Structure 1
Amino acid sequence: MDLSKYFLYASSLTTAGVIVAIVVYYMFGKQLQTVKQSDSERPMLDDNTPLLQLRLQAHERMIIFVDRINPANLLLRLHQQGIEIGALQLMAVNEIKTEFQHNITQQLYLEAATWNVIRKLKDDTIAMVNNAVKNLPTDASGVELSKKVLHYMSEIDENPYELTMGLIKQDIQKLF
């Protein structure tokens, strides 16, 4: 009798365990499959997905931004015959800030580290222009400001604008 009670007890526990497992499977199985599918689909981006297109567009826009705030391009683009140093400084700083504000939403599609580098590059460029103005006489011309900034850029071992573009390109490669 002892053995039959044992088998009866074991079979009732087994039956209860199976019933609990079936109930849990039906309650949470569908959710687990959905989570597994979304996890497996996340790293694989199809070439036609809107997210991939947005991320590529964001990287393209950031390369354009970096190129536009590069002093070699910025000062040539803004230079006008006979422009005063203060006017060129104001135009350069405003141009950098406007370009940055125009592209601020692109940070959603970039890696945080890349966005931080871009933001720091923007701040450093503004500081470079402002510091160059501090070291020049107040009656200096815009040409002198351009020469000062470009001279400073020529003394830097590694061009930060090219390095930032390289970082953005590396991020693009990670998408594929």
Structure 2
Amino acid sequence: MEDKIVEGLAYVLPALVTGGVAYYILSAFIKQDNNEKKFAALLEKKKESLPIKLQAYERMLLFCERINPVKLLIRVNPIGDKTESYLHLLIANIEQEFEHNLVQQLYISDDSWKAVVATKLAIIAKLRKISETSETAIELREKVLINYTKEENPTETVVAFLKQEVKKLL
């Protein structure tokens, strides 16, 4: 009887070891295959989303160029002589551009979005500050142009930041 048990173990033990090794190898192979599929899906997703992200960064660069005070003043002429009405016209233009590009925040990084918003707010604050010492719309225009030729323009800073973000994507 003991001989039959030992003889049975002699047959069962190698079969169990072989089965265990086969199970281990197959599970490792399946795991590797699943990882490769996940990686391929991730690459495909990134490949599909990259053009959308790049387009969003392009839109934000265009937005920054359009709210650049020097270019904004060239594009938006004063309607009358009142400083306050010209200031409201400039701010309305900036806000309209901003609202037009609001959805782009979905596709750009949080830091990029914060930089764009901070630039917009800085430009509006500077326009308001300069308007306080201006008596006419033309004087406001001249003071803004002079001010932004002397100081670094916030739009240039954010454009450089956005370009660095795009380089990270590529």
Query: In which range does the TM-score fall when normalised by the shorter chain?
Result: 0.7 to 0.9
Q: Which residue identity lines up with residue 99 of structure 2 in the other structure?
A: Q
- Could you say which residue in structure 2 is the equivalent of 1:166? 160
Does the 8 A contact of 1:63 with 1:168 survive in 2?
yes
Q: TM-score, normalised by structure 1?
A: 0.74
**C-alpha separation in 2, matches of 1:112 and 1:4:** 70
**C-alpha separation in 2, matches of 1:71 and 1:63:** 14
Consecutive unaligned residues of structure 1, counting only runs of 5 or more, are none
Consecutive unaligned residues of structure 2, counting only runs of 5 or more, are none
- Could you say which residue in structure 1 is the equivalent of 2:91? 93
- Could you say which residue in structure 2 is the equivalent of 1:154? 149
CA RMSD of superposed structures (Å): 3.2
> Percent identity between the aligned chains?
29
Judging changes above 3 Å, is the alpha-carbon distance between structure 1 residues 83 and 55 closer, same or farther for their aligned structure 2 residues? farther
Q: Does 1:14 align with 2:8?
A: no
Judging changes above 3 Å, is the alpha-carbon distance between structure 1 residues 132 and 12 closer, same or farther for their aligned structure 2 residues? same
CA-CA distance at 1:124 after TM superposition: 0.7
Q: Which residue identity lines up with residue 99 of structure 1 in the other structure?
A: E
CA-CA distance at 1:90 after TM superposition: 0.7
Does the 8 A contact of 1:66 with 1:165 survive in 2?
yes
Q: Which residue identity lines up with residue 134 of structure 1 in the other structure?
A: E
Does the 8 A contact of 1:59 with 1:168 survive in 2?
yes
CA-CA distance at 1:15 after TM superposition: 5.3
Does the 8 A contact of 1:82 with 1:142 survive in 2?
yes
Paired residue total: 167
Please state which structure has a larger fraction of its residues in helix: 2
**C-alpha separation in 2, matches of 1:104 and 1:173:** 22
Q: TM-score, normalised by structure 2?
A: 0.76
